[in-house]
Structure 1
Amino acid sequence: MVRKLKSILHFVDRGPAPSLLPILRSQQQGEILALMLGDPALELSLTEIASRTKTPHPSVFREIQRAEQAGLVTTRKVGGTRLVRANTAALTIPGWRRC
Structure 2
Amino acid sequence: MADHGNGASLHIVVFPWLTFSLMLPFLSLSKSLAKRRHRVSFLSTSRNIAHLPKLPPNVTPFIDFVPLPLPPVDNLPLDADSTNDLLPAKFST
Q: TM-score, normalised by structure 2?
A: 0.30
Q: TM-score, normalised by structure 1?
A: 0.29
The structure that is helix-richer by fraction is 1
